[in-house]
Amino acid sequence: MMVVDDAVVARSMMARWIESEPDMMIAASLRTGREALDTVAVHDPDVVLLDVDMPELDGIAALPLLLAKKRDLVVIMVSTLTRRSAELSLKALALGATDYIPKPETTYEAMTSAAFRRELIDKVRGLGRKRLLLREGAPSLAPEEAPAPVPALRRAPPPAVKSLPELKSLPELKPHRPAEKSEITLRSFGLTMPRALLIGSSTGGPQALTVLFEKLTAAVDRAPVLITQHMPPTFTTVLAEHLRRVSGRGAHEAEDGEPVLAGGIYLAPGGCHMRVVRDGDIVKIALGDDPPINFCRPSVDPLFSSAAAVWGSAVLAVVLTGMGSDGTQGAADIVAAGGSIIAQDEATSVVWGMPRAVAQAGLCSAVLPLDQIPGKILRLLVGSRS
């Protein structure tokens, strides 16, 4: 483990937190990106905590150079809760960083923030162990510690469906059948054509959402798209702007009380849970600052559960990469109402925590590689259940 931060107090604090964990060790604690680049081969870390703003060589400039020297290096960017830092953090993800951690703006706030310490330790542990598993082919860890092997999938043959003209332009999906012995039982897709698309994501989510929205065609305009991504304020503002550019549609941070319309893309603002409520014939956004759920605000569960109550069997939800199990209870509510769940598979997830939880709970109708999810969504939105 390598910590790179020009602020000596912050650097020492993060190093001390990591050293206090029995399964982690600090290989180096450095002041600049230049020092990290010059010594990464010597220290050979599995994970680097890399500050965005540093003298000589900042984190954004150092990142691609570090990855060029060590391709499988896990780099977690550390930045403050400012718009500039949010923009740089998302840029770093596009350049190959694995994840980011927003830190409080003052040293005192950082030192006293239990949430910041917990997030830092969890991400270093989870991402570092996944890297070791991939490199060494070691047996999987317990569910709360790291992802498990991708289970094989079982399902009854789907009923035949009539071909639709709109499906001809969509790519054929190949069945995803990993070879491991353990199994996940898949449910049949619901009988109702989806009228709302929900997405929950966390670690690795911004990268996954980018891939998703680059491939979704105009068929997605048949339904509103509501997204909960675990992110703090300001970061969600920048992510919404990014998704607007990528999708070519009106992606934006949701506003309390606004109507939910087909073709709209609504992102839960950082620091607020996002739910949907019915007001007569209109469905509206309801934002709340009630306590975190699953240590998160926004949390995926409130969105999923409220959507199940509003749209019932006409809900299609996708659980993308992320740590923990947020979204599982909400997914259960969707399935109970007759809706359907798709989960991202382990091989394409940065962390297979959230999608694993819903899959192992028997709630999924498909577990797919990321690049196959857009096509599947589009097929369902035009009436295919295959």
CA-to-CA separations, 312 to 236, 251, 333, in angstroms, rounded: 28, 24, 9
One of 79, 230, 325, 384 is an active-site residue; which one? 230
Residues 6 or more apart in contact with residue 81 via CB below 8 angstroms: 102, 103, 104, 105, 232, 233, 234, 235
Burial class (CB in 10 A: 0-12, 13-18, 19+), 60: buried
Q: Which is nearest to 324 in space by CA: 241, 186, 203?
A: 203
One of 326, 333, 340, 384 is an active-site residue; which one? 326
202 catalytic, yes or no? yes
Return the structure tokens found at 15: 């190093």
CA distance 235 to 237: 5
CA distance 239 to 94: 12
Burial class (CB in 10 A: 0-12, 13-18, 19+), 382: middle
For residue 183, the cross-strand partners are 152
230 catalytic, yes or no? yes
Q: Which is nearest to 227 in space by CA: 242, 309, 84?
A: 242
333 catalytic, yes or no? no
Query: Measured over all CA atoms, what is the biggest interatomic distance in the chain, rounded to whole angstroms?
Result: 65
* Sign (positive or negative) of CA dihedral 262, 198, 295, 19: negative
CA-to-CA separations, 98 to 6, 67, 75, 257, 299, in angstroms, rounded: 21, 11, 6, 35, 21
**Buried (b) or exposed (e) across 233-265, using 16+ Cβ within 10 A?**
ebbbbbbbbbbbebbebebbbbeeeeebeeebb
Return the structure tokens found at 291: 């306590």
One of 89, 202, 247, 365 is an active-site residue; which one? 202
CA distance 10 to 369: 38
Q: Which residues are catalytic?
A: 202, 230, 326
